[in-house]
Structure 1
Amino acid sequence: MGEALERMKRKRRTIRSSTTKLLTRMEEEVSEEQPDCEKLREMLSVLSTKEEQLVDLDRGIEYETPTDELEAEIASTQDYQDRIITWKTRTKRRIERSRESVSARVSDTSRDSVRSHNQQTVKLPKLVIEKYSGEISQWQEFWSQYETAIHENDALCKKEKFTDLKSYLTGAAARTVAGL
């Protein structure tokens, strides 16, 4: 086994260990009755960064791995990627359920108030903000949605708004703000 391959595997082992600890913390927070969604968003951001690092290392390791060991290497890589994807999905789903729960409570309170003054109500469709990857042609549409739903929402503090912004970014856009 070459020295470069050994170094990449050691680095990957260290990042995987750190990622496993993060996944354990995410699992604990997701299982809470009322999870801290801001903390979950932060963990998702960290997990995405770790995932990118692992993908890069996995490519290098696969390139350097002898053919007879390649199948086992790819199986190991895929198992770990599956675990990351599973927890990203579960965490996002839990954040969304928490958001819907809060929205439902706020909506119920608002609806009761409105009904006491006016019996007619209008059911509005749920606002969905599309993710932004950094493609300049999609910026205006993304910003219009985000600005209306979150940026101009006085009920949210700046930190919540920024955390929400980061949760809607992917690809190059997410990498640009990852360290902030």
Structure 2
Amino acid sequence: MTDNGANQQDLGAEYDSVNQMEDEVRAGKNIIILKRQEWKDFKEEERAKEAERRRRQERKDDDDARDQKMQDFMQRILATQASTTSTSATTSTTSTTTPAQTTRLPQRQIKPFKGDILEWTPFWESFNAAIHSSSIAAVQKFDYLKQYLQGEAFLCVENLELNDTNYQKAIDELKQMYGKPEVLIEAHLHKLNTLQPVKDMSDISALRSLQLRLQSHINALQTLGVDKSTYAGLLGSNLIHLLPFKLQAKWTESASNKVTDIDGLIAFIIQQVEAAERLNRLREQVAKPSHPTQSKQPQATPATASQLSVGARPDPAPQNGKSFKQKTTA
């Protein structure tokens, strides 16, 4: 009996030891599973961070490339402008050495300059041809200049005393503020980027205005030495979206529908506008207003002198159908 009790105690102790070992194994398995999950989460977080880092680097590279392209574009424009300005300065020096033949100013209208940078070039060309290049005294030129300046532009010369020395100072200050080539180029490019779209095909005046404004800014940029090829692609893609949907569809169906072909695109717009204008003129000629003829109402027969002397009334005008009294009694 004593041996049996001892065996049972040993078996119980061994059973408890096995259960404890199993609990430890299960706890170890749970720790392993937990560590594996933590490792997976860590790797996923690392991959997400790496992907985000690559995206940021790609965006930064794109921004840097775009900035570099813009800098290269402006450098080419300024280099071209510097060459054009040097040639113009040589021509101007040669022309100024030739004495003027007359002191009589031509009779012409010069539009006052109020400070709009896009109006400086036409103003200066008119003022230079009419007054600045003449042989009158500088003080007289300065007097004319003050008369043609208004608004912000007049403030540049308002406090300068009217004398020969200050005239050249005023010209230099105005050219410094409004005549810088890079500022003019930027202003015209901004105007091209902010042209208003035409939504309705029937709005012919808006289409014609868009075409004229487009050509005006392109011509000004060419005068400043900026070739159309430097901005043709960007301008063409923007210009397409300024047209009504029907014109966009016609352009895509045309044989030469390249967005980089600015001349072809402008020619297409001109062709469509002229066709619409001709159609409107034909419609106006066909649809003339018609005036309906009005039927003449019969007039009453005037009474004779003898009838008037006895108190007779003139005969009433003949009426068609029954009289009002007859109609009411019927």
TM-score w.r.t. length of structure 2? 0.26
Identify the structure with the greater helix proportion. Answer: 1
**Which one has the largest radius of gyration?**
2
Report which structure shows greater RCO (CA 8 Å, sep ≥6). Answer: 1
State the TM-score, normalized to the length of structure 1: 0.42
